[in-house]
Structure 1
Amino acid sequence: MRKTLKLSAAAVALTLLLAGCGGGDLDSIDYENQGEGKAPSVSFETPLKVDEPQTRVLEEGDGDQIEEGDTVEVNASLFNAEDQSSLGDTYSEQPITITVDDTLKDQLPEIYDLLMGNKVGVTFAYAQPADDAAAKQSGGSQQQGGQSPGNAVEIYSVDSKILSEAEGTEVTPPEDLPDVSFGEGDPQITIPEGQDEPTDLVAQDLIEGDGEEVGAEDSVFVHYAGVRWEDGEQFDAQWTGQPASLSLSQVVPGWSEGLAGKKVGSRVLLVVPAEKAYGTAEELGENAEQKPAGSLVFVVDILGRSAPAENADASAQPDDGTMPQDGNHGSPAPAESSSDQ
């Protein structure tokens, strides 16, 4: 499973709490944007040390104002503060998300304040004293998205906002499709009585968004819920909180075929026959206890998208906590991948 950077986190095992004297601070950072989809060029005086957590804007944003409650899509690059060596980046993998909320304000107030005062497109640097990072690691203090990597220089670029829910033009679906109703909690999906299991894939807009069109190889940020056609029982949902992040190249055909071509902001009803889901109980065999068999119905809010990274490993699954990882819950990853998760 590939490693994906998290907010203020790289692989902790790759970082060292190194002592040093002299060197530079965030003002010594020389930053150059290398273009869309590419990690920036960064250099700074070494060793770079700060006495307290600090941020510095490296490039102003020109998009929408970032506001309280927004979830933003971010690419990150991390560097060893002692020698500028790379600790990894998300540009060759998959972006992360940061929610600008009270949790971020409590745990990383400097980043919260910076985001609240800037626009989409902003790129900024962040660093904290090595002693603070070590205390958070040893004390188990969890930041949003993970632990601190210690003596590191962290560069973040805000690429876009992620919607909190579908928005656009409401669409009246045909009467013979499952009914979807909304109240508190997860949406309620009701299977029509007396209908045979579907044999064709249906991807029906309930709300037609007006955002970017989703490509067949894109990653999408979604809220979703799914039920079995057989009995209408819900087997999985991620409808509140952080959106699920998944690649359309790594999900069941009903998702990849049904969501490709839809627009960000759309709410989509997916009626997925067994052959485009996980298969029949007979076909699943031992996996029938872990994956829902037969035809399935999903309602999906498409909250954002990102184009595939040029060097991404299409066979890998993200481990940033934004996608359901437990194969027992029927997340839309292919049935055959459950043993790999």
Structure 2
Amino acid sequence: MRLHRSTALSIASVAAVAALLAGCSSGDAPTPTTTTTAAAAVDACEATSGSASESVTVTGDFGVTPTVDFAAGITADVTERTEIVTGTGPEMTTGQTAIIGYSIYDGTTAELVDTVGMDGGDPAAIPVDTSTYLTGLIKTFGCEPTGTRVVSVVPAAEAFGEQGNETLGVSPGDSLVMVIDVKPIRATGADQPVVEGQPAVSLAEDGTPSIAIPATAPPADLQVTVLKKGTGSALTADATAYVQYVGEKWSDGTMFDESWTTGVRNFPLANVVPGFSQGLTGQTIGSQVLIVIPPGLGYGEAGSSDNALAGETLVFVVDILTATASAAQ
């Protein structure tokens, strides 16, 4: 289908902050537009617990800005990480896109330099790719299951090196301490009342939706039903949405596309079929949305193109995980 200092950051701000964590300290590396990346030279899963990471005290619940205590000047030879909370969800392996919240500290000064996605703020979407993002960042959460909170100590060589990062206030040669929450890759919003006459949606234990389409004629107009209401920012028409989704044909219930077996996908809303864009624009991060798209807002009426979905009414269930503004891509 054609279809990245405040915890209350806007969609655009989340994109800008994620760019600051790219491998280039100037922050000019673009956020990838796909969620499948080439194998990195560095093993994203290789970091282990060590004396440095174990010396950092982290308190506070998952998803809440942590209280962190460590000695100024802390560093390590290579990135060390220690789990504070161990999750039970899927592991974020190379090629996947993780949805994370983080608090990052300058290890040399012990000062907080950046925090995103805590206390209900919009999380960042970061591909598990050490060739694009800071090696120490990816080694902090690479191969960790969702639901995990982990703390790391990152040496300068795997952070911003001898360049530092002036924007974040990290001096050349400074180490970093990171606390990262690996967020669920499913909608976490509040359940909404069932709307009669719409396809029925049930969820597997891992959040994968199943759709029961009624044996009636499809609606002529776009139908949008919020199944779970998130508390994050509202998507704008120019946003890139990071989602999990299932798509089926109303005519026979055949699934024609999904992300749950492959991982988080992202779509610039300006580049998808009109019904998909209209159905997601204005919806909030953390929401799950049922979208029924008539042919005229999908792939056109039957015979209008060679697309196999021409003439079909499309039914989507979309979990909105986060988003970035196109201007920051």
Q: CA RMSD in A?
A: 4.4
1:130-279 mapped onto 2 (5 Å cutoff): 144-145=128-129, 155=160, 163-183=184-204, 186-193=208-215, 195-239=216-260, 242-279=263-300
1:1-341 mapped onto 2 (5 Å cutoff): 74-75=18-19, 76-79=21-24, 89-90=29-30, 104-106=44-46, 110=78, 113=81, 120=102, 122=104, 144-145=128-129, 155=160, 163-183=184-204, 186-193=208-215, 195-239=216-260, 242-285=263-306, 287-288=307-308, 291=309, 293-309=311-327, 312=329
Q: Specify which structure has the higher proportion of helix.
A: 1
Measured in 2, the distance between the counterparts of 1:108 and 1:249 equals 42
Q: TM-score when scaled to structure 1?
A: 0.50
1:241-281 CA-partner distances (Å, limit 9, x unpaired)? 63111111111111111111111111100011011111233
Distance change in 2, residues 1:283/1:209 (3 Å): same
Unaligned runs of 5+ in 1: 1-36, 38-60, 65-72, 126-142, 313-341
Measured in 2, the distance between the counterparts of 1:95 and 1:116 equals 30
Distance change in 2, residues 1:124/1:144 (3 Å): farther
Contact 2:304–2:310 under 8 Å retained in 1: no
Contact 2:303–2:310 under 8 Å retained in 1: no
Identity of aligned residues (%): 29
Task: Read off the aligned partner of 2:250 and give its amino acid letter.
Answer: W
Measured in 2, the distance between the counterparts of 1:296 and 1:235 equals 9
Contact 1:213–1:263 under 8 Å retained in 2: yes
Distance change in 2, residues 1:153/1:276 (3 Å): same
Unaligned runs of 5+ in 2: 9-16, 38-42, 50-77, 86-99, 108-126, 134-156, 169-177
Measured in 2, the distance between the counterparts of 1:114 and 1:276 equals 49
How many equivalent residue pairs?
212
Distance change in 2, residues 1:203/1:236 (3 Å): same
Q: TM-score when scaled to structure 2?
A: 0.52
Alpha-carbon offset, residue 284 of structure 1: 2.0
Measured in 2, the distance between the counterparts of 1:211 and 1:88 equals 26
* Map of 1:320 onto structure 2: none
Larger Rg over CA atoms? 1
Distance change in 2, residues 1:251/1:267 (3 Å): same
